[in-house]
Structure 1
Amino acid sequence: MDSSKAEITLDFPPFLRVYKDGRVERLLGTDIVPPSINPETGTGVSSKDVIIVPETGVSARIYLPKITDPLQKLPLLVYFHGGGFCIETSSSPTYHNYLNSLVAEANVVAVSVDYRRAPEHPVPTAYEDSWAALQWVASHSNEDGPEAWLRNHANFDRVFLAGDSAGANIAHNMALRATEVGLCGGVKLLGIVLVHPYFWGDDRIDSEAKEPKGLAEKLWLYVCPSAADINDPRINPVAVGAPKLSGLGCRRVLVCVAEKDGLRDRGWLYHDAVAQSGWDGVVEIMEAQGENHVFHLFNPTCENAVNLMKRFASFINHA
């Protein structure tokens, strides 16, 4: 056996390992489950997979809650999964189960985007794929487009973006781009929900001052090799030269952080920066005491996870 095939050249636990022969081993987020009606929970949520860009394979899983009034149009949520831009998919059990529960709780139509991942497809591929998916969703706004669930049941006056970790980072960047470029049919975003957003920067803030160069920085420079440094505005939205936060293309923002999460202080910094930017909107923040990064995905029935989901659903339905 060629010893080089087993030689690890890069190691990013708990995400992935890269071997000398170029092989990538993902350590998490490799399981998948099919779309379905969810009889186990009694929610009545249905889901199906759709191809958005056949040339690249970009796809999404669409969720539809139990329909009691076929004439009613429901809020529309476009969701971007987390995983450091390199693991997880829209069809992983973690995200499938979470979206099922969220769609039932909030009574929304949801589109969970399956963007291509690094390192095979380095950032900015995830952003380009997510933008293509968002434009595809918006193309249904005038009751056009190929997907009947969106044409018949989505309210394009109540469109939200959301994500966790790297997915929250994507949601932020898509909200900025929606202002810069515009969405199909003139669709406007009503709000974004950023759960434990993956933001970072070269300057150390608050509790970060005690930490050495860590995973957040190393991972970004690996998944985005074109970035000059960790102050790239896509990962550091408050960096010098970053797009002005006053240009966020929505009216409301909810930032969710966790007390023990290493990204907590970045979430607070983002909240404060948006509030002070002159942006004409309302920004809220929710902190889960005693919890770590994306705890709600791994312990969805704990009190803090239940409270987070209820706040998420309330934000969508009362915006």
Structure 2
Amino acid sequence: MSSVFGTGEISTSDEYLHEIIGFVRVHKDGRCERLIGNKKLPAGIYSSTGVESKDVIISPETDLSARLYIPKTAATDRKLPILIFFHGAVLNVIVVSVDYRLGPEYPVPTGYNDSWEAIKWVASHGTGHGLDPWLNKFADFNQVFLAGDSAGANISHNMAIRFGLESNRIVGINLEGIILLHPYFGGKDPIGSELGKHKQLKAFTDQFWNLANRSESGLDDPLFNPEKDPNLSGLGCSKILLLVAEKDSFRDRGLLYKELMEKSGWPGKLEMLESKDEDHVFFLFDHISQNACTLYNKICTFINHGDNQSLV
């Protein structure tokens, strides 16, 4: 099985309660040990781009934090769009990268609730009197976007659903669009390539959801399977940019998402870009390839209302 997920075997041993080999171990005493993606760079000024970053605390009670990025071109006479990014910046936007709590030690829906708190925190600056001066001075709250890759794309979609349901509780911002990079969606019943070449990989990647979700909703939880969500028509933004990759095992889930949104009655516009000959989140591993640059430029155009603002 060749993919970004490697061979990814699932194991239970006398030493661990759960283990996804090469990724995560859950010890019998409840400790969670992550084997990949633990490196965190310090905030500061990036000399190659002039982008400046800093870390902010959103909720001291839960230790929820985010990293803010501001471009060197920021000026008080021209407000910049806000991109709230959920992980899984040369865009001339202010980026709020949310460090939400992770499962399995913080099970679903903790990460979703943390992300919602982050959106509310950003919105609290809409009057220009929030806690962070960068957002007060430079942010255009009429142009707010949510974005994420893989699980972060899943969160972005679900936050837009929640925004549509609870928009009366979020004052001061306009959620203009969401950017879904290779979204982590699934479901109990396999579709497309999950029935064939990606059958084993689906069984593996489903384990991440099952490990984080302790409810009985399983793989057809509406948070994971949009087909089971009755609220798609109320998605709280006017446009979606859906990015998929030809070789990604989640590609067919992305195509199904496009079909579901177009049939849901949601009145917005969905754009899609498929990266040929690429696998899941390829841009994280080869960020200067032609396909990666094409993807970045598509995102720039999407945020900047079709203006041809290229990164390359």
TM, length-normalised to structure 1: 0.87
Bigger mean CA offset, 182-191 vs 49-58:
182-191
| Contact 2:26/2:32 (<8 A) preserved | yes
- The answer to whether residue 56 in structure 2 is matched with residue 50 in structure 1 is yes
| Structure 1 segment 74-93 matched on structure 2, within 5 A | 74-82=80-88
- Cα offset for 1:295? 0.7
Instruction: Give secondary structure in 2 for the equivalent of 1:178.
Output: helix
Instruction: Name the counterpart of 1:209.
Output: 195
Opposite residue 199 of structure 1, the aligned amino acid is F
- Cα offset for 1:286? 0.7
Distance in 2 separating the partners of 1:225 and 1:69: 46
Of the two structures, which has the highest relative contact order with CA contacts closer than 8 Å and spacing of 6 or more? Answer: 1
State which of 197, 208, 211 in structure 2 corresponds to 1:219.
208
Opposite residue 217 of structure 2, the aligned amino acid is A
Opposite residue 219 of structure 2, the aligned amino acid is I
- The answer to whether residue 93 in structure 2 is matched with residue 108 in structure 1 is yes
**Residues 227 and 166 of structure 1, relative CA distance in 2, 3 Å threshold:** farther
Instruction: Give secondary structure in 2 for the equivalent of 1:194.
Output: strand
| Structure 1 segment 115-134 matched on structure 2, within 5 A | 115-134=100-119
Distance in 1 separating the partners of 2:76 and 2:172: 25
| Structure 1 segment 1-319 matched on structure 2, within 5 A | 7-39=15-47, 41=48, 43-67=49-73, 69-82=75-88, 103-104=89-90, 106-182=91-167, 183-210=169-196, 211-212=199-200, 214-239=203-228, 242-318=229-305
- Cα offset for 1:298? 1.3
Distance in 2 separating the partners of 1:125 and 1:146: 24
| Contact 1:259/1:291 (<8 A) preserved | yes
Bigger mean CA offset, 182-191 vs 277-286:
182-191
Residue by residue over 1:179-233, the C-alpha shift from the partner in whole angstroms, topping out at 9 and shown as x without a partner, is 1112532422100000010000012111111214612222111101114220000
Aligned identity (percent) is 49
| Contact 1:6/1:19 (<8 A) preserved | no
| Contact 2:234/2:266 (<8 A) preserved | yes
Instruction: Give secondary structure in 1 for the equivalent of 2:97.
Output: strand
| Contact 2:141/2:172 (<8 A) preserved | no
Alignment gaps of 5+ in structure 2: 1-11, 307-312
Distance in 2 separating the partners of 1:53 and 1:153: 22
Opposite residue 177 of structure 2, the aligned amino acid is G
Aligned residue pairs: how many?
291
- Cα offset for 1:267? 0.6
Instruction: Give secondary structure in 1 for the equivalent of 2:194.
Output: helix
Opposite residue 138 of structure 2, the aligned amino acid is H
- Cα offset for 1:313? 1.1
| Contact 1:5/1:19 (<8 A) preserved | no
Distance in 2 separating the partners of 1:298 and 1:313: 20
**Residues 52 and 228 of structure 1, relative CA distance in 2, 3 Å threshold:** same
Distance in 2 separating the partners of 1:38 and 1:6: 46
TM, length-normalised to structure 2: 0.89
Opposite residue 250 of structure 2, the aligned amino acid is L
Alignment gaps of 5+ in structure 1: 83-102
- Cα offset for 1:6? 7.4
Instruction: Give secondary structure in 2 for the equivalent of 1:253.
Output: strand
Residue by residue over 1:225-259, the C-alpha shift from the partner in whole angstroms, topping out at 9 and shown as x without a partner, is 114220000000112xx132111100000110111
Instruction: Give secondary structure in 1 for the equivalent of 2:65.
Output: strand
Say what the alpha-carbon RMSD is for the aligned residues: 1.7
**Residues 21 and 185 of structure 1, relative CA distance in 2, 3 Å threshold:** closer
**Residues 179 and 219 of structure 1, relative CA distance in 2, 3 Å threshold:** same
